[in-house]
Structure formats: C-alpha cells, structure tokens
Amino acid sequence: MKMNDYILTISCPDRIGIVHSVTGWLLNLHGNIIDAQQFGDVEDERFFLRVHFQLPQPSSAEELTAQFASVADKFQMQADIYDAQRKARLLILVSRQGHCLNDLLFRTHSGQLPVTIAGIVSNHKDYASLAASYDVPFHCLPVTPETKPEQEAQILELVDKENIDLVVLARYMQILSPELCSALSGRAINIHHSFLPSFKGARPYHQAYARGVKIIGATAHYVTSDLDEGPIIEQSVERVNHAMSVDDLTRVGSDVESLVLARAVRRHVEHRILLNGKRTVVFR
C-alpha cells in the first residue's frame, strides 16, 4: 500500500510563530508528523526546518506547495514539499577510477540507497561492462579542450531527457565549466579525495605520503564554479601511519571516498540538506 507521506523543508528569517503556523497548517489537513528537525542559526538569524508527515488522502507535491503558499509568504520562506516515496533519478559521471561508481551501483541494486540510476556518463570506455552488468545505460562522451562545450551540452541533454534530480561526480576528473555548474546548481555533488582544503589537484595520495600525514579523508560537496569550494555536505577521516605505502593510503582513501559520497547522496535525496549561504544545514 502506498503511503501518503511527504517531506517539507523550510529556510527563512527566524521569528516567533513559525513552527506553530506549520503545525497548524498540517492539523487543518489532518496530517500526522512522523519526524521533525529544526535549527536556528543565531548569527545569521535564520531558521531551518524539515518535517516528514503523512496525510489521510493522497495529494501531489505541487498541490500541497500551492496550499502552503500563504504560510510561506507570511514568513518569507524558501519552502519545498516532496513526495517521500518518489525515488530520485541520478546521473553518475566517472572517469577511470571506479570505486565510488561501483559502490553506488551496489548500494542502489541491493536496496540500500533509495534512488534510480538513470545513466552513467564517462569520458572513457572503462566501465561500460560494469554499467551493463547492472543494466544501467552507459554514455561514453570523450572530451578535449576543443570539444568541451559540445560534450557538456550532451550531458545537459541527458539531464533533461532523463528527468535527472541529481548529478553525481564519482571521481569524474574533468573541471566543469561555469555554465554547466550554473545549470546544475544545487543538484550536483562531487567527491574530493581529501579532507578539504588539503592536497588539491593530481596524485593526492602521493602528496599525502610525501608529507607524512597521519590522517587522510574525503569531502563531498555541492559543485560550484569555484573549484572544490562548494558547500560541504559530508566529511570523514581515517588514521594512517608511517609504515603505510602509497598503495595502502590509496586503498584506505578509496574506502573513505565511497562511504562519504554515499552518505552525501543519501542525505540529498532524502531532502536533509538546506543551504545556509556557503554552508549547509544537514539534518540527520
């Protein structure tokens, strides 16, 4: 039986009466709150709220958004309502390092990640067979500096054609143009191979090894035109030591990257992330 449950997210200037008005609106609809989390940013004087609720009768997210408009307007809210049962559609971008791709495919196939992977894009052919083994469409779109505008236009065509909700850069080793970053604003996540802002660029684990680091990590963040400077969603670290080789660091780092990216994707598709300027509010 389909559940009539929805998720409401709110960001607005903080003031008295917000929660009362939201819960009153739900009461009028005979709604039942399953989970609610809120945060008030004292410095910026902004309020953030996520409410997971059920209704006795089905309704579309668009209809509920229209009904909620009077409350949203009153409090100058950025408010969004989502069908909690709808699976987000993902487009995964990858180059020649496939650990994050493989992890996302397995988690999705095994039901651990509530998404539909609508396609995989790569500038190489390496993972065509992996995509086929999961029955996921694979699009090889080679790119050079001269063909970058055309290749990125093809990516956007896929985003539109497949009704993509989230683009995931799973170790896609190409810098997106400002135009593509703008087109995908708020719906593209990248995994970075370090605990930002350390060791940017190529061969990060070689850099880490040369510096004798004692922890390595990974950072998932939203994609912006400022390279690796987008709002951070999730980070994690692992301890390493002097006896570990570059291969050891790479292995540990790959595990951390896969886990951090999966967590970030899950929190995005469950609508647990609200932007707060250059930062994020991430509800658990």
- Catalytic machinery residues: 228
Cβ-contact 15, 40 below 8 angstroms? no
Find the farthest-apart pair of alpha carbons in the chain and give their distance in angstroms, rounded: 64
Q: Crossing angle, helix 99-109 and helix 246-269, to 10 degrees?
A: 40
Nearest of 30, 28, 38 to residue 8 by alpha carbon:
38
Q: Give the span between the Cα atoms of 209 and 39, in whole angstroms.
A: 40
Nearest of 276, 233, 223, 265 to residue 49 by alpha carbon:
276
Neighbour order of strands in the sheet with 166-169: 138-140, 115-122, 88-94, 166-169, 188-192, 215-222, 232-239
How would you classify the pairing of strands 279-282 and 215-222?
unpaired
The tokens describing 138, both together, are 């694979």
